[in-house]
Structure 1
Amino acid sequence: MLRPTQSLLATLLLCFTAAAIAQTPAKPKTAAPRVSRATPQEQRASRAFDAAKQSSPLQLTAFLVNMPKGGDLHMHLSGAVYAETFIRNGAADLLCVNPGTHSFVKPGGTTRSIPPQPVCGEGNVRASDAFKDQRLYDDLVNSFSMRSFVPSAGVSGHDQFFATFGRFSGIDKSHTGEWLDEVASRAAAQNEQYLEVMETPIFSDVAKLGYSIPWPSTPADPVLNRTGDATGTTREDLSKLRDALLAGGLRDEVAVDRKELDDALNSRNQIEHCGEPSATRACSVKIRFLYQVLRAFPPQQVFAQTLLGFEVASQDPRVVGINFVQPEDSYMSMSEYHRQMLMLDYLHGVYPKVHISLHAGELAPGLVPPDGLRFHVREAIDLGHAERIGHGVSVMYENEPQSLLKEMASRHIMTEINLTSNDVILGVTGAWHPLPAYRAAGVPVALSTDDEGVSRINITHEYARAALDFNLSYLDLKKMARTSIEHSFLPGASLWAQPDVFTTINSACAAQPLGGANPTPKCLAFLQSSEKAAEQWQLEHRYLLFEGSLP
């Protein structure tokens, strides 16, 4: 990866530190400098890209590894870790393996030997046995990922993908810092600078609290309840539930969750030696979190966890938003979808500054009945207040899809595109994928990995796949990289004067080349006021280095 110059690194370090304190965005002036749509450097990069693309997928991949990619806005931490890491963690945690299901199981106890060994019980084996049994090791890698998977009767790619998470569960949360280091190191090696990582902090006490409070049974208005199964919940009901949850001590778990993040980030920093002369390249990757809410559970738990997520995001600047996760096609996710959007509609009114990105439209014909394809993206936007849509694969099956796309474009609601995930889970590829429809409608899009560990990919793979499957150009990919930082949930004003228009920059930074190593005092003051703009400036600096290095 091409490194930013020392002067810029020092500047951006100052920017990031100041931006954590000063969150008031600077307003762009009316007269702003314009950036050429295709600079000589971009033309040179485009020629090199085209030559690599025409040569072979391998040459294209080699070119794209060093290309600046901005950020990954759709990444589940547990799904981003490779199976080999989980095997090592399972052995360290003295876990056992069920050879029939190739899943981790808790031991019945440990021996008195030094070091202690797990007592696994009849039929089970120690996770550490994988290091001396290649077949067991391979079986675990295959069980924890999509590697070597072949669909069979009754077992689809969708089934295998989501089953992996239960198989490697049980690993202690103390490894979270190691996992963050893994994804940050991988990102740094591919010239990626920002990750919004989806993670589910502890919420067990809040879940119990949610089940202890009576749930209202007000019938839903049949006109509003499109799924037909969920009982209705009025804003008055939700307000009373929130009051009851807060009175029951929900905020006590906020401190628990914040400490969990403290421990994980401190561990990551220690592993990477951040702030020391021996700091690794991974330290340069900024990580922020999206609070994962598990949607495939009864409403009592979903509402309680969602409320906790809003509370955490309101108090901890490292948690920049929330997202709903788990299979969108599951019974609870489908039958409760409308009510969950009503929950978000209410909570957004209470916590308007908390950002929302939603998995919506991670569906395909045949996976659910046709009616289930017609409204998820629309309700995620209109009721769920989603600023970004994750996947959005079924958008063209929605009611009035062209109108929906036009609205998404006009409101600058970005779609997080996960090509490999959509392939292995939904079987949607090529001409059946809506990426061209989004781009044609002017909807902002950016590439992301979803679960790179389970899928056995990385962000470079997704860039190469997008270029080959959809005949995208170098400038198309560069626009997607810029879009990723533009639609990040980082605080502050954008470097760009107009949303999603990457030709006109804020006038405060007009007196030097875009992404220059030594911003003027005026530009520096603007970057210090906006964490987002500082990351955007760094991305442009990386492009200066990358494009300038090409023959």
Structure 2
Amino acid sequence: MINSIRTAHRPKSLVPAGIGALALLTLLPTVPAAAAAPAQDPAPTSAAQPQHRSITPAERRTAAHLDALRSDPERLQAFFTALPKGGDLHNHLSGAVTTEYLIQLAGENGLCIDATDTAVRPPCGPGTRPAADARTDSQFRQRIVRAWSMQDFPADQSGHDHFFDTFGKFGEATRDRGKLLANVANTVVEQNQFYLETLVTPASDSARKLAESVGYDADLAAFHRKLVAGGKLDKVVTEAVREADAANAQFREAAHCDTRRPDPGCRLPVRWISQVSRGSSNERVFTQMAVGLRLADRDPRFVAVNLVQPEDGESALRNYSLQMRMLQYLRTQYPDVRITLHAGELTPGLVKPEDLTFHIREAVLVAGAERIGHGVDLVHEDDWRGLARTMARRGVAVEVPFSSNKQILGVAGDDHPFNAYRHHGVPVVLATDDPGVSRIDISHEYRYARETYGLSYPELKDLARASLEYAFLEGDGLWATGSARAGYRPVRACAGARPGIAPPSADCARHLEGNPKAATQWRQEASFAGFERRYGGWR
């Protein structure tokens, strides 16, 4: 599932992927005819955005069906669960696992819960009790759920603080990375998604020790040479590869992938993103960046690097521009590795006004981010409209997790820049962030977009398409370059393919076989065909 070869910049050298991607190559129903009319920038209102691409009859009927479900919550929920929803590109593995499963793992691993509801290693001394007690004590169980998630969190704590505090409380229960992935992958497939990029910290302890042994050097080129010298950096990368191997083996066992009844998650293509703790010391931040970039350059299961932890933290604010320059330098050493960054996860009052004016800009223009996560403070950036136009021109997508933005920052509805991004043509993808902590799923995020911004069915469909179009999955895509804003026009090899009527042409089949990204997009289009038949009476 996570063993395929990443050659995003070298598509001709692709080899078949693991179980998930191999399954894709056998799914060759046809792709729906893509609309070719150029798309226009939608108006920045909360009402339904006007459509500026051709709408197929099946889409029109499905849209009418969705409109008719407004007063039927149960059937509306079924619609959004069944809706194909692309991939999740902004997903923290430890925060994506269901809280109930974390409690189960804590019990199975003999962990204890202390007076602050934090999971700690055994033995369970005074003031602690076995996590396994949660199996039979429902009040104890609910207390842990509230401490480890956003469910009914205490009124005396801000959403921002409670959200980030949860990770320290359940952290000890997240050591079995493969089991966590099995839980999350199954959920992703059950939510009718087709791809996952999830964030982890590779070889964390060894990276810390390397950083401390080398020490910081403001000359970033010299610092990098010191890390590489004597194979020190490569030793950490090798450890990270072994971690990934172990996680993959554990995943396959937990998900029963090699049995006659494998879990749904076994067929999901998954890629790792290395996360860097932006609140750490300068030497640790740079070393983690170097590990993540070198790892992605060597191991195809890893595709990118990201920065995590609160962007408003003291160290993160003080060193923000330096960290962008660190990535700028390291990109010269690892030019094929992708970068996506948490940027603009800030609001007035959370930080000083001047800190709202440049984070997204520097992430894009200095660090070279191809996607940004959150981007909530867009309109506070200097020349924000010019920045948005630059993002649109470069195809820099913004990953939008509505629930996370509301819970952490209190930003929702018209206060959210969702429509501002769309109005300026910035690619937008919906994501979950930490669905286990937030107690939501991706269907909730799509339904929120519909109910809050009045999106039509074709607009929801194009959001799902965008989440695969801007994924870091290897190979060329199904859609012609630059066609996303023009209605998603298939590449020449697959031109004329029709939904559910005939298999792809020989040229198209070869394109799918050689490009996992295109194959994954094809799988979603086939799913849309079935979805529209079910909800739009398509023939």
**Which residue in the other structure is 2:144 paired with?**
140
Distance 1:73 1:517, change over 3 A: farther
**Which residue in the other structure is 1:365 paired with?**
348
| Residue aligned with 1:498, SS | coil
Distance 1:467 1:511, change over 3 A: closer
Q: Distance in 2 between matches of 1:401 and 1:33?
A: 32
**Which residue in the other structure is 2:43 paired with?**
none
Partner of residue 103 from structure 1, selected from 118, 141, 144 = 118
Which has the higher mean CA deviation after the structures are superposed, 195-204 or 273-282? Answer: 273-282
Identity %: 41
Distance 1:302 1:503, change over 3 A: closer
Do structure 1's residue 184 and structure 2's residue 185 form an aligned pair? yes
Query: What is the Cα deviation at residue 379 of structure 1?
Result: 0.1
Do structure 1's residue 149 and structure 2's residue 150 form an aligned pair? no
Do structure 1's residue 333 and structure 2's residue 337 form an aligned pair? no
Partner of residue 59 from structure 2, selected from 35, 42, 56 = 42
Distance 1:71 1:465, change over 3 A: same
Once the two structures are superposed, residues 186-205 of structure 1 have per-residue CA deviations (whole angstroms, 9 ceiling, x without a partner) of: 11112111110111122212
Query: What is the Cα deviation at residue 62 of structure 1?
Result: 1.7
1:52-451 to 2 correspondences below 5 Å: 52=69, 54-98=70-114, 100-107=115-122, 119-152=123-156, 155-171=157-173, 173=175, 175-216=176-217, 233=218, 237-247=219-229, 249-274=232-257, 276-451=259-434
**Which residue in the other structure is 1:535 paired with?**
520
Preserved contact between residue 508 and residue 523 of structure 1 (Cα < 8 Å) = yes
Which has the higher mean CA deviation after the structures are superposed, 37-46 or 345-354? Answer: 37-46
Q: Distance in 1 between matches of 2:181 and 2:97?
A: 9
Q: Distance in 1 between matches of 2:350 and 2:410?
A: 10
Query: What is the Cα deviation at residue 460 of structure 1?
Result: 0.3
Q: Distance in 2 between matches of 1:137 and 1:385?
A: 44
Q: Distance in 1 between matches of 2:417 and 2:56?
A: 30
Which has the higher mean CA deviation after the structures are superposed, 357-366 or 132-141? Answer: 132-141
Query: What is the Cα deviation at residue 264 of structure 1?
Result: 1.5
**Which residue in the other structure is 1:505 paired with?**
490
Q: Distance in 1 between matches of 2:222 and 2:18?
A: 40
Query: What is the Cα deviation at residue 533 of structure 1?
Result: 1.0
Q: Distance in 2 between matches of 1:487 and 1:205?
A: 32
Query: What is the Cα deviation at residue 276 of structure 1?
Result: 4.4
Q: Distance in 2 between matches of 1:428 and 1:256?
A: 40
Distance 1:517 1:146, change over 3 A: farther
Preserved contact between residue 15 and residue 527 of structure 1 (Cα < 8 Å) = no
Q: TM-score, normalised by structure 1?
A: 0.86
Preserved contact between residue 92 and residue 433 of structure 2 (Cα < 8 Å) = yes
One-letter identity of the residue aligned with 1:362: E
Preserved contact between residue 94 and residue 174 of structure 2 (Cα < 8 Å) = no
One-letter identity of the residue aligned with 1:244: K
Q: Distance in 2 between matches of 1:517 and 1:75?
A: 36
Query: What is the Cα deviation at residue 56 of structure 1?
Result: 4.3
Distance 1:66 1:33, change over 3 A: closer
Query: What is the Cα deviation at residue 278 of structure 1?
Result: 1.7
Preserved contact between residue 360 and residue 390 of structure 1 (Cα < 8 Å) = yes
Distance 1:353 1:544, change over 3 A: same
**Which residue in the other structure is 1:114 paired with?**
none
Q: Distance in 1 between matches of 2:18 and 2:247?
A: 20
Query: What is the Cα deviation at residue 19 of structure 1?
Result: 12
| Residue aligned with 2:173, SS | coil
One-letter identity of the residue aligned with 2:84: P
Which has the higher mean CA deviation after the structures are superposed, 75-84 or 129-138? Answer: 129-138
| Residue aligned with 2:172, SS | coil
Which has the higher mean CA deviation after the structures are superposed, 76-85 or 122-131? Answer: 122-131
One-letter identity of the residue aligned with 2:160: H
Query: What is the Cα deviation at residue 421 of structure 1?
Result: 0.2
Preserved contact between residue 35 and residue 55 of structure 2 (Cα < 8 Å) = no
Once the two structures are superposed, residues 349-400 of structure 1 have per-residue CA deviations (whole angstroms, 9 ceiling, x without a partner) of: 1111000000000001100000110000000001111000100000110000
Relative contact order higher in (CA < 8 Å, ≥ 6 apart): 2
**Which residue in the other structure is 1:110 paired with?**
none
Which has the higher mean CA deviation after the structures are superposed, 181-190 or 359-368? Answer: 181-190
Q: Distance in 2 between matches of 1:79 and 1:266?
A: 21
Once the two structures are superposed, residues 409-440 of structure 1 have per-residue CA deviations (whole angstroms, 9 ceiling, x without a partner) of: 11110000010000000000111000010111
Count of aligned residue pairs for this structure pair:
494
Preserved contact between residue 46 and residue 474 of structure 1 (Cα < 8 Å) = yes
| Residue aligned with 2:89, SS | strand
Q: CA RMSD in A?
A: 2.1
Q: Distance in 1 between matches of 2:252 and 2:417?
A: 39
One-letter identity of the residue aligned with 1:166: G
Once the two structures are superposed, residues 214-240 of structure 1 have per-residue CA deviations (whole angstroms, 9 ceiling, x without a partner) of: 423xxxxxxxxxxxxxxxx4xxx1111
1:435-514 to 2 correspondences below 5 Å: 435-499=418-482, 500-501=484-485, 502-513=487-498
Q: Distance in 2 between matches of 1:123 and 1:462?
A: 39
| Residue aligned with 1:171, SS | helix
Preserved contact between residue 96 and residue 125 of structure 1 (Cα < 8 Å) = yes
Which has the higher mean CA deviation after the structures are superposed, 261-270 or 40-49? Answer: 261-270
Preserved contact between residue 33 and residue 506 of structure 1 (Cα < 8 Å) = no
Q: Distance in 2 between matches of 1:150 and 1:127?
A: 21
**Which residue in the other structure is 1:115 paired with?**
none
